[in-house]
């Protein structure tokens, strides 16, 4: 574990375990590198070097007042990659982290990367517009921001208890430990970062970013994702990528790297070894 300081003075916390080909994990909103615990242990045992950082304003990184946008997220990721002098890296992003990975590869190039995976990821665009009629109305995100501002702790219990892990679906047994861990990670971060982050993940258009990426990318998305709707995300991202492969799941939740870790890990490993 370590930290780096970016050009604007933000301290970014990261974990770096093992040796071998590096896999760099980018977490979802409003979580931290801890959300990748299962994947990091699994791929470490497969002989990979595994790295995950806390996005600015999240987890153990600096709770900055500003810079909560995809440009800064991508630049912070680039700073970690360059600090560790990573080559032939595989980038894996979940949800907002998928946007971060996409923008990083577009903004900083692919010279240090060989493959990527976008899991339940926000690209190409979550927001409903004339050009993106299958997106979610702005009012949905305005409501999320209002709930966060009113009582962040209650909001961070409601999301994992319900749609994030699909625990609101009939017959799905919930896990108090998973819910509590989501709440713990969220409350470690800063309210300002998380508030601004909703705008970043919902209103950033990654269409042109996706078109610029040429390395192989696995797009993993579930038709029952209640956070990032499948119809506006997975298939469209795969279609925009020059070398994209879509892996569709039927009834997995948005947080499938946690609740369906065995399946996700196996499918991701198969892609990495192909």
Torsion sign, CA atoms 213, 203, 25, 56: positive
φ, ψ at 146 (rounded to 5°): -65, -40
* 69 among known catalytic residues: no
Of 95, 120, 202, 237, which residue is the catalytic one? 95
* 53 among known catalytic residues: no
For the chain, helix, strand, coil in percent to 5 are 45, 20, 40
The span from the CA of 246 to the CA of 116, in Å, is 12
Q: Which residues pair with 117 in a beta bridge?
A: 92, 218
* 254 among known catalytic residues: yes
- Polymer length in residues for the chain: 274
Of 94, 103, 221, 254, which residue is the catalytic one? 254
**Alpha helices, DSSP H, located in 131-190:** 138-150, 152-161, 176-188
Q: Decide: helix, strand or coil at residue 12.
A: strand
φ, ψ at 116 (rounded to 5°): -150, 160
What kind and span of H or E run contains 193?
Answer: helix 191-203
Of 54, 76, 196, 225, which residue is the catalytic one? 225
φ, ψ at 122 (rounded to 5°): -75, -25
The span from the CA of 106 to the CA of 111, in Å, is 11
Neighbours of 215 (CB within 10 A): 16
Rounded to a whole number of angstroms, the distance between the first and last alpha carbons of the chain is: 30
Neighbours of 189 (CB within 10 A): 25
Active site residues: 95, 225, 254
């Amino acid at each position: 574990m370590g930290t780096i300081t970016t050009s604007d003075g933000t301290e970014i916390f990261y974990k770096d375990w093992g040796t071998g080909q590096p896999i760099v994990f980018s977490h979802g909103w409003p979580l931290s590198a801890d959300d990748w615990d299962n994947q990091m242990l699994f791929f470490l045992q497969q002989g990979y070097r595994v790295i995950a950082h806390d996005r600015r304003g999240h987890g153990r990184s600096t709770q900055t007042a500003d810079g909560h946008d995809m440009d800064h997220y991508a630049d912070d990721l680039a700073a970690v990659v360059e600090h560790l002098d990573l080559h032939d890296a595989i980038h894996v992003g979940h949800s907002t982290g998928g946007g971060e990975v996409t923008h990083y590869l577009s903004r900083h190039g692919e010279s240090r990367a060989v493959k990527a995976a976008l899991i339940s990821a926000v690209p190409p665009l979550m927001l409903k517009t004339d050009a993106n009629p299958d997106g979610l109305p702005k009012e949905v995100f305005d409501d999320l921001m209002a709930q966060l501002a009113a009582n962040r702790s209650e909001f961070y219990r409601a999301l994992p208890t319900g749609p994030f892990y699909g625990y609101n679906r009939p017959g799905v047994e919930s896990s108090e430990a998973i819910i509590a861990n989501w709440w713990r990670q969220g409350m470690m971060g800063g309210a300002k970062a998380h508030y601004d982050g909703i705008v970043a993940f919902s209103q950033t258009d990654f269409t042109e970013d996706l078109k610029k990426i040429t390395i192989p990318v696995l797009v993993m998305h579930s038709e029952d994702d209640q956070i990032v709707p499948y119809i506006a995300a997975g298939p469209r991202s795969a279609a925009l990528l020059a070398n994209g492969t879509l892996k569709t799941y039927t009834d997995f939740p948005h947080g499938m790297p946690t609740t369906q870790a065995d399946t996700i890990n196996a499918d991701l490993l198969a892609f990495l070894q192909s």
